[in-house]
Structure 1
Amino acid sequence: MQVTGSDAVRIAFETMGGGLPLVLSHGLFGDRTTWRSAGYVDALADSHRLGLIDARGQGGSDAPHDAESYRIDHQVDDVIAVLDELNISRWRSGEHRWAASSALELLTECSNSPWNTGA
């Protein structure tokens, strides 16, 4: 599936499983399939509704050519666009290295907004 994130960049994502929503963000040079090949999808899908997102420039998401398009605020907006598309207002988050800084910004931005991690 795809959703249009901030600045009209298309973000690829997929969902599977059931239960508490868990958004998994891959590391640099990876994509959403990283979680499957590492065994996380099989281990978590029975107890969680997984959201696997390709960051902009990775996997099936658009890859803008200008550096400004890769700012953390755009990455946060992309995750929020996916959450909105899936009608998810409370979730948990899992990140792999590079994505951790975006996740921290996401938590900061969402702490006083309709989006809430339920942490």
Structure 2
Amino acid sequence: MIEQGMVELSTGIAMNVAQAGPRDAPPVILVHGFPESHRTWRDLVPLMSDRLRLIMPDLRGYGESDRPQDVADYATETLIADIFALADALNVDRFALVGHDWGGAIAWAAALRGNPRIERLAIVNSPHPLIFQKSLIEDAPQRAASQYMRAFRNPGMEASIQAMGFDAFFDKSFAKHADLSLIPADERQLYIGQWSRPGALTAMLNWYRSSQVVVPAVGENAAMPGWVERGVPKLKIPVRVVWGLEDKALLPIQLEGIGEIGDDVEVFPLPGVGHFAPWEAPGKVAAALKPFLLAR
């Protein structure tokens, strides 16, 4: 059973939060990506909630949560602060963190800050920031696959999406990654209803606009950002990376060198599964995540 409610955060927003599982079970915060909501995890709940406390927010700008309109409201440090503010509001001290897509980007960033409240990190199809940025400069196929990020940063993107219509945008977002015939009509309409709310598109797209990731144009001669040369800390906590190998946006190059980013890193490749693995293969994702999240 999933319970939902609005939670006021110390970061100044109200966040819609879904929860499932025993309140005294090991807590896990699961953070979704673009253009979704806590519904990313809907099919994992019956597979994992018997022994885990699943905390599944609509991140700021998404779903039922508040939708600030300024790009500055989506700075990485602010998005990280939301995660810890949510834990504080729910009286959760230490927790495991699971992230997919943009939620994974924030999960990586939060873990790299070294806060001891994060006990373990699980990632589903979301690239390590160092590997991703290097690939955007050095790997032509990955750069080409990421040009949508440049488009989403365009100030005219909201008008473009509205012109194509939200039904077409739903198909464009998910058709390459999941069998649309398997998505219930009411689930589809739930997403479209959320995207149609005032300010929703701008709020979601501001995740791309606020990001400091450099995405050069195809064929552009681009220099490697200085922070890549300086590097990032190695993670000391256990990390499990679950990866749908048919991801059309994040290519398998994102797994090259992934074992070197921490002291305890395991990779679970999922052949035949694409970017939206929690939708496409919930059983396989849960099988990879559950034992890892229980191993406290």
| TM-based fold match above 0.5 | yes
TM-superposition CA deviations, 1:8-54 (whole Å, max 9, x none): 22111121102211111011100001210xx1111110010000011
Query: Is the Cα contact below 8 Å between 1:72 and 1:102 reproduced in 2?
Result: yes
SS at match of 2:65: coil
How many Å apart are 1:110 and its aligned residue?
A: 5.1
Count, aligned residues: 114
Residue pairs, 1:1-119, within 5 angstroms = 1-5=5-9, 7-18=11-22, 19-36=25-42, 39-109=43-113, 111=115, 116-119=117-120
Which TM-score applies when normalising by structure 1?
Answer: 0.86
Structure 1 distance, partners of 2:61, 2:111, is 22
CA spacing shift, 1:7–1:21, aligned 2, 3 Å: closer
CA spacing shift, 1:60–1:83, aligned 2, 3 Å: same
Structure 1 distance, partners of 2:91, 2:31, is 18
The sequence identity of aligned pairs, in percent, is: 28
**Which runs of 5 or more structure 2 residues have no equivalent in the other structure?**
121-296
CA spacing shift, 1:67–1:6, aligned 2, 3 Å: farther
Query: Is the Cα contact below 8 Å between 2:99 and 2:105 reproduced in 1?
Result: no
Structure 2 distance, partners of 1:72, 1:102, is 7
Which TM-score applies when normalising by structure 2?
Answer: 0.37
How many Å apart are 1:4 and its aligned residue?
A: 3.0
Query: Is the Cα contact below 8 Å between 1:5 and 1:77 reproduced in 2?
Result: no
Structure 2 distance, partners of 1:11, 1:23, is 13
Query: Is the Cα contact below 8 Å between 2:80 and 2:110 reproduced in 1?
Result: yes
TM-superposition CA deviations, 1:70-89 (whole Å, max 9, x none): 11111111111110111111
Relative contact order, higher structure (CA 8 A, sep 6+): 1
SS at match of 1:8: coil
TM-superposition CA deviations, 1:48-102 (whole Å, max 9, x none): 0000011111001111111111111111111111101111111111111111121
SS at match of 1:13: strand
Higher helix share: 2
Which amino acid in the other structure matches residue 81 of structure 1?
Answer: A
CA spacing shift, 1:4–1:74, aligned 2, 3 Å: farther
Which protein has the larger Cα radius of gyration, Structure 1 or Structure 2?
Answer: 2
After superposition, the CA RMSD in angstroms is 1.6
Spell out structure 1 runs of 4+ moving beyond 6 A.
none
CA spacing shift, 1:84–1:63, aligned 2, 3 Å: same
Structure 2 distance, partners of 1:5, 1:109, is 21
How many Å apart are 1:118 and its aligned residue?
A: 2.1
Query: Is the Cα contact below 8 Å between 1:4 and 1:81 reproduced in 2?
Result: no
Query: Is the Cα contact below 8 Å between 1:32 and 1:52 reproduced in 2?
Result: yes
Query: Is the Cα contact below 8 Å between 1:56 and 1:63 reproduced in 2?
Result: yes
How many Å apart are 1:6 and its aligned residue?
A: 5.5
